[in-house]
Amino acid sequence: MKVAIVLGTRPEIIKLAPIIKKLGSKKCSVIFTGQHFDYQMGMQFIHQLELPKPNHSLKISKTNPSLQISEIIAKLSKIISREKPDTVIVQGDTNTVLAAGIASLKSNIPISHVEAGLRSYDWRMPEEHNRIAIDHLSELLFAPTNLSKNNLVSEKVHGKIFVTGNTVIDAINQFSSISKKKSKLSVAIDDYVLLTLHRSENVDNKQILSSIIKGIIDSDQDFIFPIHPRTLKRLHDFNLHAKLKKSKNILMLDSIGYFEMLELMKNCQFIMTDSGGIQEEATASSIRKKVIIVRKTTDRPEAVSSGFSEIVGTSYNEILKSLKKTSKNPRVPKKKSPYGKGNSAEIIINHLKKNL
């Protein structure tokens, strides 16, 4: 069995790392698109997790989504046609995933989709477009939960569906025990709230981003805020960066590595985020933190129904109300993660062997 694994963003690197490590370099070729254009959001994670150097690294110049996707398709198609893998493995819902799917389909290479079947039913999210398309292009669909499997069944996808858990739990199980030793971040703040924001529907909208920022400043909670490059640009564009800098309760950080993020998650009081991946990570046994979701919908409803997460929207009043309530009781229920035990990579590889 010979596979090609295509990845381009931080979450893809983290969630595909357990599969890459288990397959080994002889059985898989890694293709890195560099979709983020930023070392801190891409290659840093490959180096931190001690993954092999990608066999192919693309130089992508386009930022417009449609142009970026077409550029990746053109460059990937040449590599895939030359390597002729038994399958191309993709993870999640990025532009890289959609481009790799189209390139593979038109090269007659079966597509295997890790983390298939997630749905937010929020068409404002570019990720929703990508994940629906890739699920209908894929031959093998690795759904993390029964709920995501049911989404695929209801849409009548043509590929084979397997419930596998989520490889993000594998990654945390593998790396959380060494993150304290490996982390290069030191902060002298106790009882902080960890804040992350990056979704386009939040950070590209001045009114929404202003509402979120005003809510966290007025809450008087102490925050640690690692800032995504996209978010940083918008904070400057909307004249919000200066307000954050003047505030006494928010520590802003540049983009940080995986080990640093794990330590911040382990040691925080609770988490406020619009990230889907963090909603999953917070359910892991070594983290187990309450998550306030600053979105109107979520594609991780299992975390909400299990009591790990709560959707609060993006309005100033709701954010302020939720922060005050959660600070008084940030505990989560004594339940197992809905995303598996941490053996998802092994389950996925076994299915690949049986079906290729």
Q: Distance between CA atoms of 115 and 299, rounded to whole angstroms? A: 11
Alpha helices in the chain (DSSP H): 10-23, 43-48, 65-83, 95-106, 126-137, 146-154, 167-175, 179-182, 200-203, 206-219, 229-237, 241-246, 258-267, 276-281, 301-305, 316-328, 344-355
Known catalytic membership, residue 113:
no
For the segment 86-100, what is each residue's pLDDT rounded down to a tens digit? 999 999 999 999 999
pLDDT band for position 37 (cuts 50, 70, 90): low
**Residue 40 pLDDT:** 53
The residue written with tokens 């989560």 in the block is: 332
| pLDDT tops 60 at residue 2 | yes
Report the pLDDT averaged over residues 109-128: 95
Element at 90 (helix H, strand E): strand 87-91
Q: Which of 298, 264, 248 is closest to 118 using CA atoms?
A: 298
Strand bridging mode 140-143 / 87-91: unpaired
| pLDDT tops 80 at residue 7 | yes
**Residue 39 pLDDT:** 46
Report the chain's mean pLDDT, rounded to a whole number. Answer: 94
| pLDDT tops 80 at residue 139 | yes
In sign, the C-alpha dihedral spanning 141, 142, 143, 149 is positive
In sign, the C-alpha dihedral spanning 9, 10, 15, 17 is positive
For the segment 249-287, what is each residue's pLDDT rounded down to a tens digit? 999 999 899 999 999 999 999 999 999 999 999 999 999
Give counts: helices (H), strands (E), the chain. 17, 13
Task: For the chain, give the number of residues.
Answer: 356
Strand bridging mode 56-57 / 87-91: unpaired
Question: Which residues, 6 or more positions from 207, have their beta carbon under 8 angstroms from its beta carbon?
Answer: none
> Which one of 113, 198, 228, 236 is the catalytic residue?
198
Query: Quick one: tokens of 191?
Result: 């009882």
The residue written with tokens 């002729």 in the block is: 84
**Residue 27 pLDDT:** 84
For each of the domains in the chain, give its residue range(s) and CATH number, in order of start: 3-166+340-355 (3.40.50.2000), 187-328 (3.40.50.2000)
Higher-confidence residue: 254 or 290?
A: 290
Q: Tell me the one-letter amino acid at 261.
A: M
Sheet holding 193-196, edge to edge: 250-253, 223-226, 193-196, 270-273, 291-293, 309-311
Report the pLDDT averaged over residues 45-68: 90
Answering whether pTM is above 0.75, one says yes
